[in-house]
Amino acid sequence: MKDEARIGHPSTARTDENVESVHRLLTEDRHTTLQMIADRLNIGKETVRRIVTEDLGKRKMCARFVPYTLTTEQKQECVVYCQDLLLMGQDECFWENIITGDETWCFAYDTATKQQSAEWMWQNSPKPKKLRFQKSRVKMIIVFFDAEGVIHREFVPEGKKVNAEFYMGVLDQLLKRIRQVSTAIFHSNEWFLLHDNAPSHNAAIVKKFLVNRNVAALHHPPYSPDLAPADYFLFPKLKFSLNIAAFSNSGRNSVCSDKGA
């Protein structure tokens, strides 16, 4: 008896020799595809996949986009600054006297979450679409906070640009707020201001304003998101609370409309 000819390759293709050949090809070109390896070694694509994933323990990953590539000098600057922070941080009061300021975009979030907007549909029905977010009329909010909580917050009016002149007005309101909530720290000048390297923050008139008011601003290395705690601590919670509040208000409005009907 003799087997009829068929498409495919015998299971014996997963040999040590082929495993070594696949490893060599992946080392030469990490962007190669499974089909290219299969054609070159004359073995099945599924066999190549099992060799790559099971025998070699590899997986294909997409490149992660990063906003900027730091130079060697910028990396060294970050290291030196972090070492200085560790030295100053040996005094526990240092961290409590830092007032961080940052801005974030405000969006009009949908009142229903992705799970809440789920619908029962037929199997052949197209998948419904949902907008992630859309810009609201209030474009930006500026927030200053310390270890105790938010000290000052201010919404940027629609159509207004956050330039140096506008930011000086925000800082003036911040100083007035600090005088109200913490008079001792305000007069002792023992607190530090931390904000990023936005053009409005690094303007000459803003730096002169801070010097005239005896405000010590901590240096912020370029493109250092790890030194912006608002992006990881404050703003996500703030936007989540705004979303919950919007959802609650829409629920009350719907109840009132049902009662009125």
83 in a domain, yes or no? no
In this predicted structure, the answer to whether residue 146 has a pLDDT above a threshold of 80 is yes
Query: How remote is the C-alpha of 70 from its chain's centroid?
Result: 18
**Residues 214 and 96 both lie in one domain:** yes
Residue with tokens 């030295």: 87
Q: Name the domain count of the chain.
A: 2
Of 123, 130, 209, 124, nearest in space to 165 by CA:
209
Residue with tokens 């975009």: 105
The model's confidence at residue 167, banded by pLDDT at 50, 70 and 90, is: very high
Range of the domain at 165: 91-121+132-251
**Residues 101 and 163 both lie in one domain:** yes
Q: Note the pLDDT tens digit of each residue in 173-185.
A: 999 998 888 777 7
Mean pLDDT for the stretch of residues 64-70: 67
Average pLDDT score over the chain: 78
**Residues 31 and 160 both lie in one domain:** no
23 in a domain, yes or no? yes
pTM above 0.75, yes or no: no
Tell me what pLDDT residue 254 has.
40
Tell me what pLDDT residue 13 has.
80
Mean pLDDT for the stretch of residues 213-235: 78
**Residues 217 and 115 both lie in one domain:** yes
CATH of the domain at 35: 1.10.10
- Reported as half-sphere exposure (CB side, CA atoms, 13 A), residue 93 has a value of 3
41 in a domain, yes or no? yes
Q: Which of 27-36, 53-62, 118-127, 171-180 has the lowest mean pLDDT?
A: 118-127
165 in a domain, yes or no? yes
In this predicted structure, the answer to whether residue 232 has a pLDDT above a threshold of 80 is no
**Residues 153 and 238 both lie in one domain:** yes
**Residues 98 and 50 both lie in one domain:** no
Could you tell me which residue, 203 or 113, shows the higher pLDDT? 203
172 in a domain, yes or no? yes
**Residues 48 and 96 both lie in one domain:** no
Mean pLDDT for the stretch of residues 144-164: 87
195 in a domain, yes or no? yes
Distance between CA 145 and CA 132 in Å, rounded?
Answer: 28
List Cα–Cα distances, 56 to 12, 32, 43, in angstroms: 17, 15, 17
CATH of the domain at 190: 3.30.420.10
**Residues 50 and 95 both lie in one domain:** no
**Residues 47 and 157 both lie in one domain:** no
Of 161, 138, 166, nearest in space to 239 by CA:
138
In this predicted structure, the answer to whether residue 205 has a pLDDT above a threshold of 90 is yes
Mean pLDDT for the stretch of residues 75-88: 86
**Residues 138 and 43 both lie in one domain:** no
In this predicted structure, the answer to whether residue 10 has a pLDDT above a threshold of 90 is no
**Residues 96 and 182 both lie in one domain:** yes
**Residues 169 and 49 both lie in one domain:** no
Q: Which of 34-48, 55-69, 148-162, 199-213 has the lowest mean pLDDT?
A: 55-69
Tell me what pLDDT residue 253 has.
47
Tell me what pLDDT residue 257 has.
36
75 in a domain, yes or no? no
The model's confidence at residue 165, banded by pLDDT at 50, 70 and 90, is: very high
In this predicted structure, the answer to whether residue 129 has a pLDDT above a threshold of 80 is no
In this predicted structure, the answer to whether residue 131 has a pLDDT above a threshold of 70 is no
114 in a domain, yes or no? yes
Of 166, 179, 178, nearest in space to 206 by CA:
166
